[in-house]
Amino acid sequence: MTDTTISALADPVREWERGAWCLAALALAARGEAGSLTHAARDVLEAAGVPEHTLASSPLTPAQIEALASAGLLKTAGLLTGRDVSWADQSDDALRAQGQASGIAAAMFAQFVVPNYPELGARLAQPGARMLDVGTGVGALGAGFAIAFPALSVTGIDVMPRVLELAQQTVAEAGLQERMELRLQDVAALDEEGVYDLAWLPAPFVPERAFTEGVRRIARALRPGGMVMIGHGRLEGPPVDDALTRLQTIAYGGTPIDGAAATDLLTELRLGDAKTLQTPPGAPGITVAFR
């Protein structure tokens, strides 16, 4: 290797390693054990512009902050050591923290989707309105929709019994027992017709075979005029971001589609007005269509 190739690698490696260590510092500071490691971690955060009071004033618990900061590190370490960490292997705190992050989806939906489709907003406000939340996880996203739309009943389905137990807690804590139903079910086995006004399908978390069959079954499960909303990676950013999104989606066993592929898929299923919506930077891509 020449000097130039060594320095061409050294600079990015140094930068990326810095990011990994900053995340580790955040996890350690949140864990907060007594000792010099925690002090040093707090110094890193302070110098990086994340002082201790930022952690204390976060709506997340320290355990959730630790889980969020370490999720990517544990996943990548697992990939490299052959001891892969799946979604199911994470702690309850990690699942809750990630679920809580997806809980803001309902607010985003109200802000960025409903204004484009006022009829849908009116439909979701009608008594008897129903939503399907695929991959409901700890139920935060579904609960967020039920809270944002007080007439809406939500059916959350997931393939993991353990997350459904956590989702039961979310439902009970939010007092949504009357309006949120949870089911152990693979979206590829969904067998309902004409019952939902809105369906959410997060491509990055659903394996490709289940996704392809699931979207077909969702199309049938919608009421006429109902909307399917596919969440997907945004593969239109800087090339490195797009390539990372693909890598992460494959590593997590999901479906790496973008807005154009989602639009084609929904159109092939004879759903109408398929369109990828504008979402803010950092938010997932969303492609919608109507039955």
Binding site for ligand SAM (CB under 6 A): 87, 98-99, 102, 134-141, 157-160, 163, 186-188, 205-206, 210
* CB nearer to ligand SAM: pick between 68 and 210: 210
* CB nearer to ligand SAM: pick between 163 and 230: 163
Least distance to ligand SAM, CB of residue 42, Å: 30
Between CA 241 and CA 156 the distance in angstroms is: 31
Least distance to ligand SAM, CB of residue 8, Å: 36
- Look at residues 20, 91, 104 and name the one whose alpha carbon lies nearest to residue 62: 91
* CB nearer to ligand SAM: pick between 8 and 172: 172
Secondary structure string (H, E, C) spanning 204-255:
HHCCHHHHHHHHHHHHHHEEEEEEEEEEECCCCCCHHHHHHHHHHHHHCCCC
* CB nearer to ligand SAM: pick between 109 and 205: 205
Least distance to ligand SAM, CB of residue 96, Å: 8
Phi, psi of 109 (to 5 degrees): -60, -45
Q: How many residues in the chain?
A: 291
* CB nearer to ligand SAM: pick between 135 and 256: 135
Between CA 265 and CA 226 the distance in angstroms is: 17
Between CA 147 and CA 107 the distance in angstroms is: 10
* CB nearer to ligand SAM: pick between 129 and 206: 206
Least distance to ligand SAM, CB of residue 72, Å: 13
Least distance to ligand SAM, CB of residue 1, Å: 41
Alpha helices in 116-207 (DSSP H): 118-124, 140-148, 161-173
Least distance to ligand SAM, CB of residue 50, Å: 25
Least distance to ligand SAM, CB of residue 214, Å: 6
- Look at residues 36, 37, 106, 100 and name the one whose alpha carbon lies nearest to residue 67: 100
Residues 106 and 145 sit within 8 Å (Cβ to Cβ): yes
Largest CA distance in the chain: 70
* CB nearer to ligand SAM: pick between 214 and 259: 214
Residues 182 and 168 sit within 8 Å (Cβ to Cβ): yes
